[in-house]
Amino acid sequence: MFEDLTEKIEKALKKITGQGRLSEENISETLREIRRILLDADVNYKVAKQFIDNVKEKSLGKEVLTSITPGQLITKIIFDELTKLMGGSGSELTISASGPTIILMVGLQGSGKTTFSAKLAKFLKTRNRKVLLTAADVYRPAAREQLRILAGQIDVPLFTIEDSKDAVKIAKDSVDYARDNGLNTIIIDTAGRLHVDDELMDEVVRIKQSVNPTEILFVVDSMTGQDAVNSAKAFHDKVDFNGVILTKLDGDARGGCALSIKAVVDKPIKFVSLGEKLDSIEVFYPDRMASRILGKGDIISLVEKAQAEVDEKDAEDLQKKILANKFDFEDFLKQIRMIKKMGSLKSLMSMLPGVGSALKNVDLEDKQIVKVESIIQSMTRQERKNPKILNGSRRLRIAKGSGNSIQEVNRVIKQFAEMQKMMKMFSSKGNKNFLSNVKNIRFN
């Protein structure tokens, strides 16, 4: 995410942070470079200009020029301005105080609207909302079937009227259906077009008038840059949506859309989508995104992901096993499955400060995790509990059973043995207090 933008900004800031003294001249030179970087990233021209003007005004203050660490102060100013540019603070989804919460999804074709509707449904379901998905895209072939399949995968009911071409009726009837069946959240997936046109806009306006939605969310492919911002403005002028959803953010190396869209339409980014899995959805926090852009990582989001996936009892059991030096392949398999739930390896590693840019050209393939998982699954329960019995013939059987080479099996067993040695260090008396405190770490 934003690899190119992060790398270029880091280089520009290194030049100025390495200088012993700052002057108006070298500040202006650095900000001209950052302005060029933003324009190359497809940031809206007016947005980029205003951003640089704001940073320059604060950077030329006496406090910065006389500071012992002026470079750090300028980085902090840029961080604050990036945060403000993207909305300042996170914007929560509005939940209706009375009656069902109705969420209307709008956007262009190909933006990932249908898939995101299912992601949002799953996200809200984990927060104890009773969700109904409504398939109101009556134009795209197989749109209803796609949403039906996705709804089945997350065990959420779907409403549509087969063979009907009346999207307004489908949306209106789905609200009645939800009320009759005790469902308090309706997500309506509407039709997209390849471009903004009057027919699409009129239909969305009529749906809005018929169901009176709690939220109208504009879904946009972040990789389309300024085109996305322009279409957002056109939709907003006609429909007046409440928030923006950025999809395919994991494939966006430039970041122009994320940095421009709030300033242009003055509506908050509420969620981002990272990847194809139905749980690859994150609430958007401007300060955390600004931290990622500046190469500072996002530890808070990483910890939240871990806390969401780690069962407290499992964590306590794991701690006891490590302290007793009894960590085995069964435990290792549980940890692998937990990591898979949290997201791709590269996205998780990019949340660590300074690691994102270091991984730019490193191939961190998730299939490596799948390979290790297949090797462990090919072991018997006895072998997982007692790796010492893994002799040559057993390893050969495991290799054949998992579809891997004997060398790959040997490598996994060797790496696991090294991991056990490391954990044995923590089972010593001096480290027990450290381990007992790890599970109590919280970010407030």
Listed residues 55, 85, 115: the one ending a domain = 85
Is 443 contained in some domain? no
Same domain, 113 and 216: yes
Is 28 contained in some domain? yes
Listed residues 235, 264, 296: the one ending a domain = 296
Give the C-alpha separation, 179 to 165, whole Å.
Answer: 23
Same domain, 196 and 344: no
Same domain, 196 and 256: yes
Which CATH number does the domain housing residue 391 bear? 1.10.260.30
Same domain, 290 and 340: no
Q: What per-residue confidence (pLDDT) applies to 299?
A: 58
Same domain, 119 and 230: yes
Is 132 contained in some domain? yes
Judge contact between 73 and 67, C-beta under 8 A.
yes
Same domain, 191 and 323: no
Same domain, 346 and 416: yes
Residue 23 in tokens: 């002057």
Judge contact between 110 and 196, C-beta under 8 A.
no
The type of residue at 255 is G
Give the C-alpha separation, 116 to 120, whole Å.
Answer: 6
Which CATH number does the domain housing residue 33 bear? 1.20.120.140
Per-residue pLDDT of 194-250, as tens digits, reads 666 777 788 888 999 999 999 999 988 877 777 777 788 888 888 888 888 988 877
Same domain, 8 and 23: yes
Per-residue pLDDT of 145-200, as tens digits, reads 999 999 999 999 999 888 888 889 999 999 999 999 999 999 999 888 766 677 77
Range of the domain at 22: 3-85
Q: Which H helix or E strand runs over 102?
A: strand 101-107
Is 95 contained in some domain? no
Same domain, 20 and 155: no
Q: How many domains does the chain have?
A: 3
Is 238 contained in some domain? yes
Is 444 contained in some domain? no
Same domain, 159 and 254: yes
Average pLDDT of every residue of the chain = 79
Same domain, 334 and 419: yes
Is 291 contained in some domain? yes
Same domain, 134 and 277: yes
Listed residues 270, 296, 322: the one ending a domain = 296
First to last CA, the chain: 26
How many CB atoms neighbour CB 437 within 10 A?
9
What pLDDT tens digit does each residue of the chain (444 aa) get? 567 777 788 787 777 766 656 677 777 888 888 888 888 887 888 888 888 888 888 877 656 556 556 667 778 888 888 888 888 877 788 888 888 999 999 888 778 889 999 999 999 998 889 999 999 888 887 888 999 999 999 999 999 888 888 889 999 999 999 999 999 999 999 888 766 677 778 888 899 999 999 999 998 887 777 777 778 888 888 888 888 898 887 766 566 777 888 888 888 889 988 777 888 888 888 888 888 777 765 556 566 566 666 666 666 676 677 667 777 888 788 777 776 666 665 566 555 555 555 445 444 456 777 888 899 999 998 998 888 899 999 999 999 999 989 999 998 888 888 777 766 665 554 444 444 444 443 333
Q: What per-residue confidence (pLDDT) applies to 364?
A: 47
The type of residue at 20 is G
If we measure between CA atoms, which residue out of 130, 123, 163 comes closest to residue 144?
163
Is 93 contained in some domain? no
Sequence-ordered list of residues with C-beta below 8 angstroms from that of 301, at least 6 positions apart, any chain: 282, 285, 288, 351
pTM for the full predicted model:
0.68
